[in-house]
Chains A and B, each alone.
Chain A
Amino acid sequence: MSQEDTSRRRFLQAAGSATAAVALAGCTGDGDSTEGTMTTSAGGTSGDGDTPDTETETTERPEPETRDGYLQRANRHVHEQAPWVFLNRQYSVYGQSEDIDWQPRTDERVSAYAIEPATDSGDDVVMTQSQMDSGLDPQDHRETPTDNIVLQAYEGLLQRDREGAIVQKLATDYERLDETTVQFTVRDNVSFHSGDSLTPEDVAFSINRIVDPEVGIESPQTDQLIGVDGAEVASTDDRTVNVNLTGLNPIVFASFATYCDIMNKSWVESNDDAYINQNMEGTGPFVLSNYEQGVEVEFQRNNDYWDDEAAISTFTINSASESSTRVNRLLSDETDIAVNVPPQEVSRVEENDGTSISAVPSTRILFNAMRYDVEPFSSPEFRQAVNYAVDLDSIVENVLQTFGDPTGQPTLEGFFGYNEDLDPYPQDLDQAEQLVEDSGHAGVEIELVTPIGRYLRDVEIAQAVANQVDQLPNVSASARQVEFQTLVSQVTTGNIEDKPPWYLLGWGNATFDAIQTIQPLLSSDGALTSYENDELDSLLEEAQSLPSESN
């Protein structure tokens, strides 16, 4: 991609030896986040999120010096230019039985390793989610239900803790060697479930299997490790693996903390795809004991686990696509965790003895994209007007029943690059009406396209937005429902012209880094972009030319 080429060029031009050396030195270690100290260079602390500035004023701010600063500036740009109606951060809502002690994770993944029995019947834990896996190959899928299943048995080099910080897993150390090479040290004394020892060859093979189509499969995770060129064993004696990058790639460790499960090379090479998708050979705390495709997966505790053994003996995952069926199972004590309890079912779970609700802010943001290249959305004033017309608090309160947070920028709170000076747009109908007049598009009719049932209460949210915008005397708005796949086929063609002018979409970003949202969705060469702006592009390029302060 041209973006990486540019990053590399920028890095060589701008980073400079001294800055780069200092910054790179800060890239090793245990993943402690230092983002909190970087906010001074965010480009202004005026706290003016309520009154968007014009572009000229934005450029008058002092130049950021850090990657965090550039990303915060990018978020400010997006907030002010409003290519989206900023909606809400979604919550993951679970129903949970009193038989277990468990806290949900921010990244929507459920690890049975974190579950402890609270009563005698909590030793054998059952979880019901909305759908089963799409096969057990950890590198040949990309969605949360499958993640939840494979992560019980497979592990990556790095991982995230409950709050999202990076921790070591199968790597005991990780560092940048130079601008295009990072090195992982592979943990010793780890064995796969079959008894084979984990070797650096397995690690290099697993990385290459994702990024190199010549190795095994066409992995849909290629783009999750974007900028990774390949891996090779550096030295088997000290167990190191070198990963070659196509550019600086500031989020490489963040990517490895979320993606790239390590598989047993010889096991993968001696079995076909169908077998690999129905069996597991990982290093994780649970061993697959029974697999009924599309029905149920059963795990048993791995008694030879390299770390502390899991607290529970068995973990079973099954599925029910109907949310009421999942809740009924929980209420009848047939399951211990019901994933995705919708707001209308929450009171049934809370009022029942022995069950409760656990909710956690997720990494998913919901927004309405407005295409920058078609009227009336080509006018920044009009886009701001739509934001002022929407009452986010009322949507969170009434549609999501408080299981959501209003947002005013594409990056969620707690992510690297989040700009804490930006507040969500307040509802201000007078200002909205005035901005519509200023934009010259008074009297226009607009239509919001929403998928059905893809995101929590998506249709209801879209209808609320359309109704609120429709209240403006000089705009009439309506919502139209389409099947999610229809919308996907329009937004993923790579052409802005193929997209509906105004549409609802959700975006999960498990890397906890602003770039993974802004780059694909709002930069000129983003795969899903609805917006093109040179200033934003250059802010992102600058950000990608600097190493991340957080890892």
Chain B
Amino acid sequence: MGYGRFLLKRGVQGVGVVWGVVTVVFILRFITPGSPVDTVAPLDASQATRERIAADLGLNQPFYIQYLDYLAGLLRGDMGYSYISSIPASTQVFTKLPATLELAVAASVVAIVISIPLGVISATRRHQPADYGATTFSLLGISTPNFWLGIMLVLVFSVEFNVFPTSGRAFGFMDSMRAITGPEPFFGVLTAWLASLFLPAITLGTYFTALITRLVRSGMLDELSEGYVRATRAKGLPETLVRYKHVLRNTLVPVVTVLGLQLGTLIGGAVITEAVFAWPGLGTEIIRAINARDWPILQGSLIVIGTGFVLLNIAVDALYAYLDPRVVAE
């Protein structure tokens, strides 16, 4: 099987998975208690009003008609309209996506910047104070609840010392890019953007920092006991070069895979962090849609996240297949 056919096969499988996501989400809507009409209509609305609103939202149609209509709409790029605001679901979902992506990428950057040096130090100074410090940090990082950490960071850095804003997103990545040429002072926009991003990114990134620190430490320890390390040392290479050029490089291959796949988890898992920091992203939108039974928004958000997962997986597969032709042959 050639590389092209392999990619095609993965692509078709991906489409199947996305279709499965759409279907499962659609079925969930029918087995979830509570009707959207209850959130649109006042509590004391008459039955007649309820029925009219249901008809207006198309909820009086049988399951299969609603399902086929929705699928047909998706093929046209139409996710329907929010039950609550009448705004197209695609508009509402895609305007919230950048904030969440930004937060996920920033959290990954925090994780990479802190965890790799920490993992290396921990592995190369095994059973020394630095190692104990790093492993204690990762234990704390994995067991600290996100929302608690977020609230504590805000109390200390925003309320007490007033260094960062408490919450919200003053500007986005695109705003700061536009400010390069725009009338607003670029530096001001950039710092405001980074300041509002800092605490949420730390909060969301801590768990992954801890996770990857452990991964790097154990990976590095495994590699250090490999035969090629002894060979390079015997060749007379300086220890720094051995550790950082050869060992770390080999350790990073699984780390990059984990990071790639975790980016999807970060997007889906940003919900609590977004709530604590009133971050206007997809997580906040999903919570709102769940509370309001705003199914078009919920479906749209879940489909976007699901599709993101599938694309990331395909990208990782494709990269593997490119690096290791044996994968294609299987």
Contact = CB atoms under 8 A, between A and B. Distances in A.
A328 B159 contact: yes
A524 interface: no
Contact of A322 (B47, B50, B169, B276): B276
A520 interface: yes
9 contacts: A142-B41, A293-B87, A294-B92, A318-B168, A334-B167, A485-B293, A488-B34, A526-B44, A527-B44
A492 B87 contact: no
Contact of A140 (B86, B88, B288): B86
Interface string A1-26: 10000000000000000000000000
Interface residues of A, number: 53
Q: Which of B34, B44, B96 has the most CB of A within 10 A?
A: B44
B148 to A, nearest CB: 11
B178 interface: no
Given A220-B45, A329-B167, 18 more contacts: A131-B288, A134-B84, A218-B52, A223-B41, A274-B81, A277-B86, A278-B87, A293-B92, A294-B285, A320-B168, A321-B284, A325-B154, A331-B159, A332-B158, A489-B35, A489-B38, A492-B38, A492-B41
A294 B53 contact: no
Contact of B53 (A218, A325, A526): A218
Given A319-B278, A331-B159, A325 B38 contact: no
A294 B97 CA distance: 13
A51 interface: no
Contacts of A213: 52
Given A135-B87, A293-B92, A224 B159 contact: no
Interface in B157-215: 158-159, 162, 165-169
Contacts of A133: 85
A470 B318 CA distance: 64
A222 interface: yes
A322 B275 contact: yes
B217 to A, nearest CB: 35
A324 interface: yes
A494 B154 CA distance: 46
Contacts of A276: 86
A494 B51 CA distance: 12
B330 interface: no
Contacts of A196: none
B86 A489 contact: no
B238 interface: no
Interface in A299-346: 318-322, 324-325, 328-329, 331-332, 334
A516 to B, nearest CB: 8
Given A294-B285, A332-B158, A486-B34, A274 B86 contact: yes
Q: Which of B40, B82, B87, B165 has the most CB of A within 10 A?
A: B87
B277 A325 contact: yes
Contacts of B166: 325, 328-329, 332, 334
B275 A321 contact: yes
In the A-B complex, the 7 residue pairs with the smallest Cβ-Cβ separation, listed nearest first, are: A135-B85, A485-B34, A320-B278, A520-B44, A273-B86, A218-B56, A134-B84
Contacts of B277: 325
Contacts of B82: 135
Contacts of A320: 167-168, 278
A528 B288 CA distance: 25
- Give chain A's interface secondary structure class: loop
Contacts of A527: 43-47
Given A223-B44, A274-B81, A324-B151, A135 B86 contact: yes
Contacts of B169: 295
Contact of A334 (B38, B53, B165): B165
A27 B151 CA distance: 55
A223 B159 CA distance: 45
Contact of A328 (B38, B154, B284): B154
B43 A488 contact: yes
Contacts of B84: 134-135, 141
Contacts of B88: 274
A137 interface: yes
Nearest to A352: B159
A491 B34 CA distance: 11
A223 B167 contact: no
B311 interface: no
B42 interface: yes
Contacts of A334: 165-168
A525 to B, nearest CB: 10
Nearest to A218: B56
Interface in B230-245: none
B66 interface: no
B273 to A, nearest CB: 11
B144 interface: no
A485 B159 contact: no
Contacts of A278: 87
Q: Which of B50, B84, B166, B291 has the most CB of A within 10 A?
A: B166
A130 to B, nearest CB: 10
A223 B95 contact: no
A25 to B, nearest CB: 32
A334 B164 CA distance: 11
A320 B53 CA distance: 29
